[in-house]
Chains A and B, each alone.
Chain A
């Protein structure tokens, strides 16, 4: 007895699976099945001949499978037969389904480009290599490289910038291939970016500068998710009374939050309820993916009494500052910093400007080279830097000292023999010379590790 099938039961089924179903359940005669196979074979043969410029019908097995998979992938994207496979899947319709599938894939391919433009135009001012690479390189390369006819299932890019729920590899590439995978990833990234755009550039830059200070590492090469850092801060700020949620949390507010948060379940529920009022439905739907992770984070933090580690506060009160080995800021930002320093009269205020931006050690050297500081500023500035920044400053000022297998020993005669081409360098060497033996040893060890 023949099975009955519902019109919507094949919505997400592949062409091959439908074909198999129709045959095994006697909805299709052997002859029709054979004719369909011939039509698909002729499609593949035509593609092979185009590929070889009519020179031969012989190709490598690898290339043949790529073409074959591309044809089936394209047939999967045709929509007509899904409504009534028994009626529509016929040998004479295969060419039509193939063209229909191609049109559908072309539309998705264009969608990748539109999403790339959207993401590029609103790229966040965050200096993270993976984030920038995925938007500026990977999505664009995918768009240019994608080949519907010969490599439709292929996606060379691994999209290694992790989204809120991790990298696509953690989710078996969302069970998608080719253009479907690229569109899915770009759409998710777009939701994340749109969420982060709720905040001003200044808020974001300050948050990530504070984050770097908080964790003691530059985010440039870290495999972080930007939305997660922004979202966590936003979530905690929704718990603060009488305030519009923001990314800036004061020390006093942090203490309040630490005393308020006692129960994981209640806290998470309250956060989601508060966010439900503020955020739109699509963003909320997306953020629900993070609920379990948030519960785990808060639970672990409560168990180890480390809730304060989850909340980022302003780092102005810190005694020492770190400048990481990461790319320099733009020339526009650099000019702004110089102007701001020039506006200040007091040495402390001038130096404080440096710590308000997420600068790299190269920026610090460039600023020192401008001679914007006077003699009495230098000792004050070096005192504010942590030992890692001092080591990096030494490394980039005296690169010739870092010879393979040579050990750096910071004794007085060694320091006196170093070249001084700028005024600040003499103060820098005096500062190193006057360090305590313990600090000098620490610096020496770091320098020799860098070598």
Chain B
């Protein structure tokens, strides 16, 4: 195995450890496979919206926000993170770079709770409306 592959692997393991330490108290965990799947999904989603994300921190931010949701279990935890990634990049495409990542994820989560955990187009529209009002 090449030096830089080892470094990347070490990095991934460190992130997973950090996320798991935070979400464990809520009864969730992420495996290395889950994380690799989320990385692939992240790339697929931002490419779909004609965007580029130079960091993977957003996965960590989402994972550590949605773990508080009363509407999920471990079995659909990764799916919810993917849905949030999709909503996040949809918002970014619409509103540009005027909001912080955390701000968008926080707003998305608040609207998600107001919609009783239902992921729909309306959730996206309501989030965009609130974010635009904040400008």
Question: Which residues of chain A have a CB within 8 Å of any CB of chain B?
Answer: 30-31, 34-35, 38, 41, 44-45, 48, 51-53, 55-62, 64
Contact = CB atoms under 8 A, between A and B. Distances in A.
Contact of A60 (B50, B99, B100): B50
A321 B4 CA distance: 80
A64 B97 contact: no
A38 B58 CA distance: 20
Given A51-B97, A55-B101, A56-B97, A34 B52 contact: no
B97 A34 contact: no
A45 B55 contact: yes
A55 B99 contact: yes
The 4 closest A-B pairs by CB, nearest first: A57-B55, A52-B97, A57-B54, A64-B52
A57 B53 contact: yes
A60 B101 contact: no
B96 to A, nearest CB: 8
A59 B97 contact: yes
Nearest to A31: B3
B41 interface: no
B57 interface: yes
B46 interface: yes
Interface of B (DSSP majority class): mixed
B54 A61 contact: no
B2 A58 contact: no
B52 A56 contact: no
A31 B2 contact: yes
Contact of A55 (B3, B46, B100): B100
Nearest to B3: A31
A59 to B, nearest CB: 6
B51 interface: yes
Given A31-B2, A31-B3, A34-B4, A59 B100 contact: no
B84 interface: no
A45 B3 CA distance: 23
B4 A55 contact: no
B51 A60 contact: yes
Contacts of A52: 97
Interface in B48-73: 50-55, 57-58
Contacts of B99: 55-56
B98 interface: yes
B112 interface: no
Given A55-B101, A56-B97, A58-B97, A45 B54 contact: yes
Contact of A59 (B3, B51, B98, B101): B51
A59 B2 contact: no
Nearest to A33: B4
Nearest to A45: B54
Contact of B54 (A35, A41, A55, A60): A41
A53 B103 CA distance: 14
24 contacts: A31-B2, A31-B4, A34-B4, A38-B4, A45-B55, A48-B54, A51-B97, A52-B97, A53-B97, A55-B97, A55-B98, A55-B99, A56-B97, A56-B99, A56-B100, A57-B55, A57-B57, A58-B46, A58-B53, A58-B101, A59-B52, A59-B97, A64-B52, A64-B54
A52 B57 CA distance: 16
Contact of B51 (A35, A45, A61): A61
A34 B100 CA distance: 31
Contacts of A60: 50-52
Contact of B92 (A38, A48, A56, A64): A56
Contacts of B54: 41, 44-45, 48, 57-59, 64
Contacts of B4: 31, 34-35, 38
Nearest to A35: B4
Contacts of A57: 53-55, 57, 101
B89 interface: yes
Contacts of B2: 30-31
Interface in B1-33: 2-4
